[in-house]
Structure 1
Amino acid sequence: MANYKISFIELRGIEVAEVCQIFERINQAGKLLNIFDIVVAKTFRIEDKKNNISGFYLRELINNLRESIANSQYARVDDWTLLQMLAVVIKLEFPEAGIQNITDMYLNKLKTEHIEAVWSNFKIAVAKTFDFFDNILHIKGGRLIPYRYLYLTITAYFYRNDKPDYSFLNKYFWYYSFHNADLLTNTTHLWQHIYFVNQQKANSTSSFNKFDIDKNSLRKSFYSYKGRLSRAILSLYANHKPQDWAKPHRDVLSDVYYLLTDKPNLHHIFPVNFIKQSGIASQIECDSLMNIAYLSQITNLKISDRNPLNYLKEYDEPDLETVLRSHLIPTIILEWSRADVLPENALTIFIEERINLLLEALRLKLEGIEFNIFDMGNHYIPK
């Protein structure tokens, strides 16, 4: 293989877009080039030992970065996101480099010398970002990060930051993840956020506006990979390190838990079939994330679609109340189980109680920030 010969055609004086078209036409697999492939090709530099010029291969650097965090689910973050994180750092370090945004047009302008200059500190910032999600927020997988742009803003905060303020960062994450308004959905928001976190980094001070949240949005939240609020709710559940109902001193979430499934193993506290058969609630209430908890697959299968009054009796040990609190589950359901009585509007009551627990958990995380709760649902709980 060392003497294997290949043929090539050298093209001069043509644009990158034309090169891409030629590649796509002659490539037998018909693979389209993406922006990461283009940046890798444009920034590639062959080693020249005679002139003391080192080689450069961005794909190899990215692969090595992933290997350094191989035990984390965040090693799966896609190339495009990592490239945008890199572009943000280069824009901060080299304002004159022409990287005015993170769109493909500007990613195409990334230069080898700029990547080399920031790479060492960039790797540290990325590792700290993933560690923050993984080990401080206890969100064991990128699928639950509410906004993809949070990768970029938090990397910007950690970049060349020897004394990060994790109290600030926690507030920042939960404030924007749950705020009633979508405040991180476009690149205008992105650069406003980066300016905000960098102001805190420079001055060690920060000020958040009033936090607004609609109870009805929580009530009507459903699981969706693309739903910002749904991800935020599931992230908050994960953040409380929910414990296994069958083995109370064991966290139900783990790296393996996320590795073995495309979706977290979610359990309906009031099972779907039980609700349909009993007629105690609407489909909206049934599918609300307020009726969802993380459980191990074994426990989930064992519970199946049984009445919660019955299956809770099997786990009603002294630690169960603590376990339920780790899931932000109101213990009123345990009181019903012990009394063997389920109110006619049990799920409605349960959902409202859980919303209140979730809001109280958020209020604690956003301590010192004006906290405004409103309800656009005009919800009424019958007596």
Structure 2
Amino acid sequence: MAANIATRLETGTPFLKDLIADINSGQIKVPQFQRKFVWKEEQALKLLDSIASNYPVGSLLLWRTKNSLAVERNIGAFKLPATDDMSPTDYVLDGQQRLTVIFSALGALEGQDGFDVVYDLIDECFMESPEKFSQTQFPLRILYNTTKLLNFRSGLVSYPNSNDLQSRLDGLIDVITNYRIPVVTLKELTVEEVCPIFERINSSGTRLSTYDLMVAATWTETFDLNEEAEKIAQSLRPKGFDDIDGNTVLKCLSAIKHQGIKKDQVLSLRNLSKDDMDALVEVAKIALLKTVDLLKTEFKIYSWDFLPYEAIAIVLAYVFSKRKTLSLEDVRRVRQWFWLSALSERYRGASESFVSQDLEAIDLYVVNGEDPKKSFGNIPSKETFKNLAFRSNNSRSRALIILLALKRPRNLTNGALIDPEIALSNYNSKQFHHIYPKAHLKRVESSGEHNSLANFCMLAASENNAISDDHPNKYLPRLISELGLEAEDIFASNYLPSPSSIDYSTLEYPEFIDLRAELMLKDIDKLKDGLTY
């Protein structure tokens, strides 16, 4: 395929004036992508300064196609002109920010909205056009208007240093009018061929995705994928899960429709009629609502931040698209798959093909109730578990937090029940505490992983300072004394060894980690078998 694509690449180095003319005519358009990143004034001014210094500013990538895509005309403060549809059209895949700045600063008419820039001939710098500017500040939007340009230049004669000012203006005009930008045009490639190229683009710091391309490729006057994804997000808002990623929505739609999320399956969604897509979105909305309910009730997960993997949401949405309700046996099987997947890091770096294969396996195992034909992973051994470090973006760390929440923990300091919804509604590091503080472990040069999963407990932020970096052989016995008869239950709710059988005044870190890992793994063994505790 690569060789075939290479024959349909066109390269060129047009002048800025030619690019501006193509934008004005509608030959070049910017697809309507949901962008998280929009250039700021400082970045735009730096781009113009690079051009004036004759520095390279990178190439543009265009996609020439007869497919009509949704286009963007207003990007932040930058404006693009409204034009008639043309076929074929060159859509900007990479260079959107640069091209928009160039057009708004150099190609728009005077007085039009958008990014308006002058060049100060005295300070020799670009600046956004002030409401009132001096006669030594050259408005870039007249650069290609010969009459206005000559009038501005003639007006500089009244200044004592007119020769210098005119020389600076002439130099600026010469560089900009002769400046060329490399352009690569992909000619009449299909969406399937453009997609892998599109996903690798990252020159502006914004990674474009299949979802972005699908938003543009599926858009019509009566259908907008962004609006459909927003409908799903809105339905999840009361449950606190409305920040669902667009790519996740797209994969859920593909999983429900095709029992797979491979690239060709996702892209084939664009061939659905509006009625079929509307119906699919409605099914996905209901399935995701049930998914969120299960995550909250069964796993005490109250936001996407604590979900070990995106694939878990996709699989569960697929299950709920096939089954209106789950039996106790169904939930047991889901529980088994969930814990094995999370603790074995099953979906770490998993490809779309791998997740698609799991959808087939889950269909057999949960939806049809058949014995699994494959293993969903294995839990770590005790020695491995002790050495696993707590990291916020790690699936095992998230599994640990869920494990702690399911235990209905109570504050070590006062025995108050911890509300997991508050603790897990967002990733608040103050809700978690090293039982054996890292500063202490460093001071005594203790062996073992100081940031071990087995060294964390859930603790309300308001109580965190009560422990701080105290010596565990001092503060733990003190808490046991203060908690009195409730100490056993409170310690048990935090997977801490029984105070009646352990002397915390002498308990060293390696032994503590060994005992606590054993307690945790005892419950994990039940969960990975689909049981509760």
CA 1:328–1:189 in structure 2 vs 1: closer, same or farther (change >3 Å)?
farther
Task: Give 2:441's match in structure 1, choosing from 246, 251, 275.
Answer: 275
Q: Does 1:110 align with 2:110?
A: no
Q: Deviations over 1:102-124 (max 9, x none)?
A: 44x65444225242231211111
Q: Deviations over 1:301-331 (max 9, x none)?
A: 1111112243232452332322222222222
Q: CA deviation at 1:300?
A: 1.0
Q: Is the 8 A contact 2:262 2:353 kept in 1?
A: no
1:70-85 superposed matches below 5 A = 70-85=237-252
Q: CA deviation at 1:131?
A: 1.8
Give 3-state SS (helix, strand or coil) of 1:318's partner.
Answer: helix
Give the structure 1 partner of residue 460 of structure 2.
Answer: 296
Q: Is the 8 A contact 1:84 1:152 kept in 2?
A: yes
- For the aligned residue pairs, the C-alpha RMSD in angstroms reads 3.1
Task: Give 1:37's match in structure 2, choosing from 212, 215, 218.
Answer: 212
Give the structure 2 partner of residue 195 of structure 1.
Answer: 360
Task: Give 1:66's match in structure 2, choosing from 228, 233, 236.
Answer: 233
CA distance in 2, matches of 1:329, 1:306: 17
Q: CA deviation at 1:254?
A: 2.2
CA distance in 2, matches of 1:274, 1:220: 18
Q: Is the 8 A contact 1:252 1:294 kept in 2?
A: no
Q: CA deviation at 1:359?
A: 1.4
CA distance in 2, matches of 1:368, 1:302: 37
Q: Does 1:307 align with 2:382?
A: no
Greater Cα radius of gyration, structure 1 or 2: 2
CA distance in 1, matches of 2:500, 2:246: 45
User: Match of 1:36, as an amino acid?
Assistant: Y
Task: Give 1:139's match in structure 2, choosing from 290, 301, 316.
Answer: 301
Q: CA deviation at 1:200?
A: 2.9
CA distance in 2, matches of 1:325, 1:152: 35
CA distance in 2, matches of 1:190, 1:269: 37
CA 1:180–1:91 in structure 2 vs 1: closer, same or farther (change >3 Å)?
closer
1:82-161 superposed matches below 5 A = 82-92=249-259, 101-103=261-263, 107-111=266-270, 112-113=272-273, 114-161=276-323
Gaps of at least 5 residues in structure 2 are 1-79, 102-114, 116-203
CA distance in 1, matches of 2:305, 2:501: 31
User: Match of 2:297, as an amino acid?
Assistant: N
Give the structure 2 partner of residue 242 of structure 1.
Answer: 409
Q: Is the 8 A contact 1:180 1:213 kept in 2?
A: no
TM-score, scaled relative to structure 2? 0.57
Q: Does 1:162 align with 2:324?
A: yes
CA distance in 2, matches of 1:109, 1:356: 49
CA distance in 1, matches of 2:465, 2:310: 33
Q: Is the 8 A contact 2:418 2:459 kept in 1?
A: no
Give the structure 2 partner of residue 375 of structure 1.
Answer: none
Task: Give 2:521's match in structure 1, choosing from 343, 349, 359.
Answer: 359
Higher strand share: 2
CA distance in 1, matches of 2:475, 2:523: 27
CA 1:234–1:101 in structure 2 vs 1: closer, same or farther (change >3 Å)?
same
Give 3-state SS (helix, strand or coil) of 2:449's partner.
Answer: helix
TM-score, scaled relative to structure 1? 0.77
Equivalent residue pairs, number:
339
Alignment identity in percent? 19
Gaps of at least 5 residues in structure 1 are 47-54, 93-99, 370-383
Q: CA deviation at 1:259?
A: 4.9
Q: Does 1:265 align with 2:427?
A: no
